[in-house]
């Protein structure tokens, strides 16, 4: 998993270097696929079709501004100065998965956009720091929500992090908030144990948390058009603390 995560990190770095006004999201997708193939890895997203979704047609998801997740790369979708873009990629290498996402500025961005990205990154770091023995999944979720609330942002409630291992989506679910006893949403809680591996992926929203899925069957946007940001790392629980697997 560490090697799969390293390949994902290399793909992210190559895409980050290419981000500038005028670049198409399809060009970023091509960069990512090339990195994966050069390292004997295969994309997890390409052809992925859970539930009623159509097969996903790309290696990465590329979500711009008010697109929360699952944006589909396109030759005709180009970046503009001041955009922010969330890039998510997962690969499988020698039977194991790495998964990570980062939101990047395109050129000079507004102070509010920069603040949102910083807050989302801080929420991810808070959740990673909570990923220690003696805690539970609920502690990780609460750390994310508390960090987001401290910065004044909503979290995406419908989408969660997840276990990662030999498959891209495994147990446990790792939410960005935790339900009350009266909530209709009830996730299973788990004690954190040595060897557990999961992806933590805070998704913060500058406005209301209401979301809409577009007609393409994948792209999720904020209903009020507000900015979103998305950061994700795959981590492992160890005796000495969390180990981030998706770093170079």
Question: pLDDT tens digits, residue range 99-134?
Answer: 999 999 999 999 999 999 999 999 999 999 999 999
Instruction: Identify the structural domains of the chain with CATH numbers, from first to last.
Output: 2-244 (3.90.230.10)
Per-residue pLDDT, 159: 94
- Count the neighbouring beta carbons within 10 Å of the beta carbon of residue 82: 14
Per-residue pLDDT, 220: 98
Angle between helices 25-38 and 2-18 (to 10 degrees): 150
Angstrom distance (rounded) from CA 57 to CA 78:
18
Angstrom distance (rounded) from CA 171 to CA 151:
29
Angstrom distance (rounded) from CA 173 to CA 106:
32
The chain-wide mean pLDDT, for the chain, equals 96
Bond preceding residue 172 cis, omega within 30 of 0: yes
Angstrom distance (rounded) from CA 44 to CA 215:
22
CA atoms within 13 A on the CB side of 224: 10
The percentage of residues in the chain with a pLDDT greater than 70, rounded to a whole number, is 98
pLDDT for 185 beyond 80: no
CA 47 → CA 59, 144, 168, 174, 243, distances in Å? Answer: 9, 31, 13, 24, 30
Per-residue pLDDT, 180: 77
In 3D, which of 187, 189, 190, 225 has the Cα closest to residue 205?
225
Give the mean model confidence (pLDDT) for residues 181-186.
70
Per-residue pLDDT, 79: 98
Per-residue pLDDT, 184: 65
pLDDT for 199 beyond 90: yes
pTM: 0.96
Side by side, the strands of the sheet bearing 203-205 are: 154-155, 203-205, 228-230
> Token pair for residue 70?
């699952």
Structure confidence by residue, pLDDT tens digits, 67-101: 999 999 999 999 999 999 999 999 999 999 999 99
Per-residue pLDDT, 246: 98
Per-residue pLDDT, 65: 98
């Amino acid at each position: 998993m560490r090697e799969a995560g390293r390949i994902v990190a290399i793909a992210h770095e190559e895409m980050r270097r290419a981000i500038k006004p005028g670049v198409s999201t399809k060009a970023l997708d091509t960069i990512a696929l090339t990195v994966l193939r050069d390292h004997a890895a295969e994309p997890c997203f390409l052809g992925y079709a859970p539930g009623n979704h159509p097969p996903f047609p790309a290696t990465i998801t590329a979500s711009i501004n008010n697109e929360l997740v699952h944006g589909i790369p396109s030759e005709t979708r180009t970046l503009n100065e001041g955009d922010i873009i969330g890039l998510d990629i997962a690969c499988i290498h020698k039977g194991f998965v790495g998964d990570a996402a980062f939101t990047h500025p395109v050129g000079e961005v507004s102070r509010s956009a920069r603040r949102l990205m910083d807050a989302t990154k801080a929420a991810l770091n808070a959740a990673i720091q909570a990923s220690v023995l003696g805690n539970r999944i609920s502690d990780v979720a609460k750390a994310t929500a508390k960090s987001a609330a401290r910065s004044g942002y909503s979290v995406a409630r419908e989408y969660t992090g997840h276990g990662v291992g030999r498959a891209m989506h495994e147990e446990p679910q790792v939410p960005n908030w935790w339900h009350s006893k009266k909530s209709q949403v009830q996730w299973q809680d788990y004690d954190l144990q040595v060897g557990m591996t999961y992806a933590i992926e805070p998704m913060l929203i500058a406005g209301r948390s209401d979301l809409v899925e577009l007609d393409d069957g994948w792209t999720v946007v904020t209903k009020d058009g507000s900015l979103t940001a998305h950061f994700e790392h795959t981590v492992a629980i160890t005796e000495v603390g969390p180990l981030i697997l998706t770093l170079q």
